Structure 1
Amino acid sequence: MTEESVRTVGELRARLAALGARWSVSEHLADADPLPTPALGLEPGPNLTPAAEAGTVDLRALVGRESGNPDLTRRRAANGLLPGTAAGAGTFAAPGTPARAGAAAGAGTAAAGAFAAPGTAAPPAPAAPGTAAGPGRPVAVDWRSRWGRSWLTKVKDQNPCHSSWAFAAAGLVESMARIEHGVWAPRSEGDVRDGLKAPCAQGGDPETALGWIRDHGGIADPRCRPYTTPPPGLPPERRDAWRAEYTPTWDRSGRTVRIPDPVRLGDVEQQKVWLDTVGPLTACFDVYEDFPALGAGVYHRTSDRLTGGHCVLVVGYDDAAGCWLFKNSWGTGHHTGGYGRIAYGEANIDYWAKCGLRDTNIDPWSKRRLHTGNVYESGNGRAHRNIELSATAGGGHLRHWWREGDPPFAWSRSATYASDASGQPAFTGTTYNRNMESLHVTIGGRLRHWYYEQAVGVWRDGGAFGPGDAAVGSTPAFIQSDYGHPGNFEAVVRTADGRLHHWWRINGAPWTWNDGGRFASGIAHYGPALVQTRARTLDLVAARTDGRMQRWWRDDPDGFTWRPGEVFGSGVTSAPCLIETQHEAVDEDTAGTYELCVAVAGGRVEHWRRGNATGAPWTRDAVFGHDAAAVTGMLQGSFGFRLEAVVLRTDRLLQHYWRDGAGWHEGAVIGPA
């Protein structure tokens, strides 16, 4: 440690070499460059909890139940968190139990700095490098690549604003949405920063940000309220005072990931157990002049020059190296692709409590590609993963069914609505306060829209529209796209002349449906098979009169023209059901795999898939089921990336099937339909 300040990257490299430091300067920096000084953002307030005050928590009470993510369930069992499993040492201390004492921090641990006043109670001491993991806990965790998957959104850049606290909070919500529900759900740091009316230069802390998210209906997606920065060329004083107006889209209430109270963890061992069994944590620490130059290796400070405080997302730990793994918000040019390592206890990173989340409630916008037909997964229920289904109930009526997202997974009847349905409806959740929306073909060959108004708990008739020759008894395709703010409704239905007819609605006054035109010919069956791609085009698959299937797609920049695509399959006797899943979606911008189920001759169901990210062609993956007349709905929900399908049987009952790593399984019978 030295009191001398360094001015250039070369001088810092020389210092690290002289001290035999465990870390190196970023390779992107030249020796002649001045030390980087990116924006920071920690401004401790009354909501930021010292670790000593947070102490230990009762982890079994907080997360001692099975997760929809089966890998997490196994980790909780290994750590003794589930009922009937043995508790690990130091894991289940009751709330209010004094923090555990431990060995003194290793050499180079910072004294209390600007953000941890001298004389304040010391935090729980961290484990020294090489300390053995607690019972059941691995020696290292890295959420970038656990169980062969990525669970973290891409690294972002907060500059030039001091908003690291908002990025840490948003990153935590994003990661837990992925871990708990298997879906990419990018969130907007601008939603929370601007909602708190924070100017560019104003810092904050993740606890305040998470509290605002909890109390204001969640955190929205970037298209609802983007993160913006001051216009280029503003002088520093005007840039620092710049503040964005908070103007989210009017359907924000349906575009947010909602959260409960964050969990404050002060004990370092419990923080590691949380990282193993739940997910990442927010963390804040002191920043010294050498930290922004961190490249590879484990950071320990070599300077006494304090420049401020900063917040990051801790995404893992490594006991062998004695460090936390963190995701920063300075872009991919810092550290190693935007990720770095900091020694336990270093720069007061263990002084403040770290915050975690559980029981996230995902918005329908993030799930819109992952379901189609008469079934979808809502945010209802304790675990926010109930399955909602609508089906015919006789006499032209439709009935709402639902299944709780926890065992025993029993289906329950709910209200009926409509009186003129000729076939199964399309059923989904939308951004309008998470309303349920239903669309069916009437006995007169038109389309009729119904919606369940969540605010008052009432089904309302949205009116009839469309052609007078829609194929009676068929199921229309119905999605909410992201064209416009808020997103348009898109519907496609087969008509009696064997063509397809597209209708769309701008979701604002006067709320009228528009004729998008007819296309294709020789269509024998069409139904729940419409998605919006990552490129924002529309894709669908229909069954032809020759028993084969064909994809059609609409290239929006080219005059909204529907174009024929590839032809595949044979012996198809019903409408295909198509969704885009999270398989092969390695990040939030990569297209997932198309999964398609369709009833074929002999009453069986064929499962087909196409690798959108890899360019793999349509391949028949499996054949399952019996007595199948049509597949009426499909989704990929919160249960370990597994698929759920609803099949209409020849006896008019609905049969639930689901697929995991072992294949397709027959589930409950729902009905009559």
Structure 2
Amino acid sequence: MAKLETSALTVALKQTNAKWIARDTPQSQFSDEDKSALLGVIFTPSDIALRESGIKHDFSAPLPAGVATELDWRNNNGNHVTAVTDQKYCGSCVSFGCTAVVESMASIELGQLLDLSEADSHFNSSHGPSCAGWDTDSCMAQLQARGEVSEGALGYMSAFDNPPVIDPATSLWKAYVRPTPNRASTQVSITSHGLITDLAARKQYLNDHGPMAACFDVYDDFYHYSSGVYTYQSGTLRGGHCVEVIGYSDSEQCWIAKNSWGTGWGMAGFFKIGYGQCNFDTYAWATAQGIIVPAAPSWHGWEGLGGTITSKPSAVSWGANRIDVVARGTDSAMWHRWWDGSAWNGWESLGGSCQSGPAICSWGSGRLDTFVVGTDHQLYHKWFNGTWSGWEALGGMLSSDPAAVSWGPNRIDVFARGMDSAMWHLWWDGTHWGGWESLGGVLDSAPAAASWSANRLDTFVKGTDSQLYHQWWAGAGWSGWENLGGYVGGDPAAVSWGPNRIDIFYPGSTFAMMHKWWDNAWSGEENLGGTLSSGVGVSSWASGRLDCFVEGTDSSMYHKWWA
């Protein structure tokens, strides 16, 4: 089939006094097969019946009272239209159009600017992992039933191989279901959805509520659209497409819409289409209302986890929704309890004769490394890599619980107070143990350690003045000790949930749990309550997630979490 040339189209548009301009766009250069790949509407029997009925709207009829003759939700008490996106080589336009509507409604109803995951809507829902098409009513039903997570939780391109490969079943990109741990933290859903076919009702809804998702027929010349009010000029019918309708103009006799072909097409991704064109106002438009966003993060607990422990607990996560906690029992053995995503398991005895409370860290999924000070004041190491090892002696002469952290695969750093009250450091670099290295200071507690990137370590201790002190490694050498103030009544704990973020916990002057954090500046102290009989253990399995563990006055373990 002969390719539609922009030059010939431009001549035809001038001859017919059309009100739009054509140009070469990225999409107009596509092959016929690639052009069709951008379209992904499966018209329902109801839509087919509407098309075959030959319905004609009276665009000259007066509007209902109070309905504006011009409307654009990019400038209607603010901009409520999110950025133009790109569906790539995939027929996911229905999820892009419906997601855009939900994002706009969140801005209108709640004043929140969201960036939601079209991948979660299209591939992780009942639609399934395919770039094949869909219909707006089914898509909106899924957004009501299961919602969709944020783009940050599941990026669109993460649903494909890198680089993407073609699925022989569809001749489009092959998509996959990708896990979205901790869905509740970013999941957005809708309370209701519907379909509107009446012309006056559409304009009334646009005025009173907000944008809608619309489907229409796409011809070859649409791929060449640059600006103005599009009307069909020439070219082959390629299929059905879905977009977000964000307004209309009675003076220009057109609808205003946001496309999902990137900003290189049209008017930076937006377009106008004439009333009555390409069945744009024939097929039903989909609505979404009652946006439900996740509750603001808050502290939960205290939750009793039982046991009879005689030390500060230590906690780590090796992956999403996984926590492992160890503590010393009344028999001086190390005991283990773990959360597997649905329930707490254990207690499990891991043996040993512990002078100190244990430390635990992880450098990979399914990997745990634990450390204790034995009755001879040396450091001992026991690890899990499918099964538990025996105890390995690592030397040293230590006078506190150890602290352990990993900054990357096969890397471990261990810290403890020595007999001279200084902080001592031992490390595993993947092939051998290095150290012991004295880092100085005069400690009145066991140290805490965290890492927020490769080759970064942050350590914290209680000084002899009961204030919190900080020393860090940033790849070139150890800093001096930084005084962070406060009143520290016991061993601190530290963790990082992401780059440039550190959270520190410790017993305060009244033995409540205190919280201090770094987020490009130090904040706190925050009193989180409780009555602690030990220092604090803490882990994080996702950005914005914290799990704290302490020994209570009844020697049981208690859990408080931020989510």
Normalising by the residue count of structure 2, what TM-score does the alignment of the two structures yield? 0.56
Residue 635 (structure 1) aligned to one of 540, 545, 556:
540
- The structural deviation recorded for 1:324 is 8.4
- The structural deviation recorded for 1:191 is 7.7
The CA deviation string for residues 473-528 of structure 1, in whole angstroms up to 9 with x for no partner, is: x14122242xxxxx242313123133333444344xxx433338432411322444
Q: What is aligned with 1:476?
A: 403
- The structural deviation recorded for 1:376 is 4.2
Residue 425 (structure 1) aligned to one of 353, 358, 363:
358
Q: What is aligned with 2:321?
A: 385
Q: What is aligned with 1:412?
A: 345
Q: Compare CA radii of gyration and give the structure with the larger one.
A: 2
Q: What is aligned with 1:554?
A: 473
The CA deviation string for residues 275-327 of structure 1, in whole angstroms up to 9 with x for no partner, is: xxxxxxxx9x97957658779x9x9786756899999xx9x956767898676
Q: What is aligned with 1:437?
A: 368
How many percent identity over aligned positions?
13
Q: What is aligned with 1:61?
A: none
8 A contact 1:528–1:632 mirrored in 2: no
The CA distance in 2 between the partners of 1:326 and 1:320, in whole Å, is 13
The CA distance in 2 between the partners of 1:148 and 1:451, in whole Å, is 44
The CA distance in 1 between the partners of 2:470 and 2:487, in whole Å, is 16
8 A contact 1:288–1:304 mirrored in 2: yes
8 A contact 1:390–1:425 mirrored in 2: yes
Change (3 A) 1:403 1:516: same
Quick check: 1:545 aligned with 2:464? yes
The CA distance in 2 between the partners of 1:149 and 1:373, in whole Å, is 38
Change (3 A) 1:140 1:652: same
Q: Which amino acid aligns with 2:352?
A: S
Q: Which amino acid aligns with 1:569?
A: G
Residue 448 (structure 1) aligned to one of 367, 381, 403:
381
The CA distance in 2 between the partners of 1:430 and 1:644, in whole Å, is 18
Normalising by the residue count of structure 1, what TM-score does the alignment of the two structures yield? 0.48
Name the SS of the counterpart of 2:444 in structure 1: strand
Gaps spanning 5+ residues in structure 2: where?
A: 57-88, 119-129, 134-146, 184-191, 197-214, 249-254, 285-311
Q: What is aligned with 1:366?
A: none
Change (3 A) 1:287 1:644: farther
**Mapping of 1:19-168 within 5 angstroms?**
35-36=25-26, 51=42, 103-104=50-51, 140=105, 147=112
8 A contact 1:427–1:436 mirrored in 2: no
8 A contact 1:288–1:301 mirrored in 2: no
8 A contact 1:494–1:526 mirrored in 2: yes
The CA deviation string for residues 589-631 of structure 1, in whole angstroms up to 9 with x for no partner, is: xx4643221112331211112322xxx3333233421134211
The CA distance in 1 between the partners of 2:159 and 2:443, in whole Å, is 46
**Mapping of 1:170-319 within 5 angstroms?**
192-193=161-162, 205-206=172-173, 208-210=174-176, 291=223
The CA deviation string for residues 102-123 of structure 1, in whole angstroms up to 9 with x for no partner, is: 744999xxxxxxx99xxxxxx9
Aligned length: 428
Change (3 A) 1:656 1:7: farther
Q: What is aligned with 1:573?
A: 489
Q: What is aligned with 2:412?
A: 490
Name the SS of the counterpart of 1:546 in structure 2: coil
The CA distance in 1 between the partners of 2:271 and 2:425, in whole Å, is 52
- The structural deviation recorded for 1:385 is 2.8
Q: What is aligned with 1:618?
A: 523
- The structural deviation recorded for 1:655 is 1.3
Gaps spanning 5+ residues in structure 1: where?
A: 26-30, 56-97, 108-114, 117-122, 154-164, 169-177, 220-255, 260-267, 273-282, 351-371, 454-458, 482-486, 583-590, 661-673
- The structural deviation recorded for 1:642 is 5.5
Change (3 A) 1:425 1:140: same
- The structural deviation recorded for 1:450 is 0.9
Q: Which amino acid aligns with 1:622?
A: N
The CA distance in 2 between the partners of 1:45 and 1:420, in whole Å, is 69
> Aligned Cα RMSD in Å?
6.1
The CA distance in 1 between the partners of 2:555 and 2:513, in whole Å, is 16
Q: What is aligned with 2:314?
A: 374
Change (3 A) 1:644 1:37: same
The CA distance in 1 between the partners of 2:467 and 2:357, in whole Å, is 23
The CA distance in 1 between the partners of 2:258 and 2:317, in whole Å, is 33
The CA distance in 2 between the partners of 1:402 and 1:451, in whole Å, is 13
The CA distance in 2 between the partners of 1:146 and 1:555, in whole Å, is 40
Name the SS of the counterpart of 1:564 in structure 2: coil
Q: Which amino acid aligns with 1:494?
A: A
8 A contact 1:494–1:527 mirrored in 2: yes
8 A contact 1:395–1:419 mirrored in 2: no
Q: What is aligned with 1:644?
A: 547
The CA distance in 1 between the partners of 2:35 and 2:349, in whole Å, is 53
The CA distance in 2 between the partners of 1:289 and 1:187, in whole Å, is 28
Change (3 A) 1:490 1:438: closer
